[in-house]
Amino acid sequence: MFIGLYNYWVVIVLMMVGFYIVIAHGNLIKKIVGLSIFQTSVFIFYISMAKVDGGSAPILADEINQYSNPLPQVLILTAIVVGIATTALALALAVRIKEAYGSIEEDEIQKQDNLD
């Protein structure tokens, strides 16, 4: 569908959007969203590596002799799980932080911490 490296660049832009959200936003939930986008973009990046022109999904079938690379897919399966695990834990933390501080804004939490 795309030619050359162009699609990698799209992925990189997506990645950077996620990355930006993580480091620039002060809301804890939004940071987690950013993290999620960041990670998912990396997954896309891996999966694009695996694609072979004219290839097919790596599930063996007759009359097909060109398959895409299964290895990155395996890796990303694992990575997705890691991603959801991280998200779950981060959300749990955010919930606890809300309970403890009454806020999920970075600067307000920071302010409260500086007080004690």
Partner 1 sequence: MIVHLPILQVIIPLMAAPLCLLLTRPRLAWLFSLIASGLAFLISGMLLQQVMTSGTIIYEMGGWEAPWGIEYRIDQLNALLLLIISALSTIVLFAAETSIHKEIPADKHTLFYVLYLLSLAAMLGIVATGDAFNVFVFLEISSLSAYALIALGQDRRALWASYQYLIMGTIGATFILIGIGLMYQMTGTLNMYDLSIRLPEVAQTRTVFTAFAFVIVGICLKLAMFPLHLWLPNAYAYAPSIVTAFFAATATKVAIYLLIRFTFSVFGLSFSFTHLPLQLLFVTLGLVGVFVASTAAIYQTNVKHLFAYSSIAQIGYMIVGFSISTAAGLTATLLHLFNHALMKGALFLALGAVMYRIGSTQLSNFQGLGRQMPVTMAAIVIGGLSLIGVPLTVGFVSKWYLVLAVIENGWWPVAVLILAGSLLAIVYVWRIVEVAYFKPALAGTETIQEAPLSFLIPVWTLVIANIYFGIDTRLSVQVAQAASQSLFGVSP
Partner 2 sequence: MKDLLAVAMLLSIYGLLSASFFVAMDAVDVAFTEASVGAGISTLLMLVAISMTGRAEHPSRHKPLLALAVVIVTGSLLIYGTLDMPYFGSAEAPIHQHIAPRYINDSMQEIGVPNIVTSVLASYRAFDTFGEVVVIFTAGMGVLALLSVVRRSPVDIAKIVLFNDAMHERHLILRIVTKIMIPFILLFAFYVQFHGDFGPGGGFQAGVIFASAIFVYTMLFGMNTARRVINQSFIQVLAAIGVLLYGCVGVVSLFNGKKFFDYSALAIDPVAGQHLGILFIELGVGLTVASVMVIIFFNFAGRNETPRNSDKQDL
Partner 3 sequence: MLIAATLAILVVMIMAIMRVFIGPTLYDRVLAVNMFGTKTVLLISLLGFVMGRPEFLDIAIVYSLINFISVIGVLRYSDHFIFKQSGQSKK
Q: Does 35 bind partner 2 (CB under 8 A)?
A: no
Least spacing, CB of residue 62 vs partner 3, in Å? 12
Per CB under 8 A, which of residues 64..103 are in contact with partner 2? 66-78, 80-89, 91-96, 98-100
Cβ proximity of 52 and 68 under 8 Å = yes
Total residues at interface with partner 1 (CB under 8 A): 31
User: Among residues 22, 27, 68, 73, which is the contact residue for partner 1, using CB under 8 A?
Assistant: 22
Sign of CA dihedral 60, 64, 69, 73: negative
Residue 40 interacts with which of partner 3, partner 2, partner 1, none, CB < 5 to 8 Å by class:
partner 2
Q: How many CB atoms lie within 10 A of CB 82?
A: 12
Per CB under 8 A, which of residues 29..58 are in contact with partner 1? 31, 35, 38-39, 42, 45-46, 49
Cβ proximity of 67 and 56 under 8 Å = yes
Least spacing, CB of residue 86 vs partner 3, in Å? 20
Least spacing, CB of residue 35 vs partner 1, in Å? 6
Cβ proximity of 73 and 50 under 8 Å = yes
20 Cβ neighbours under 8 A, 6+ residues apart: 34
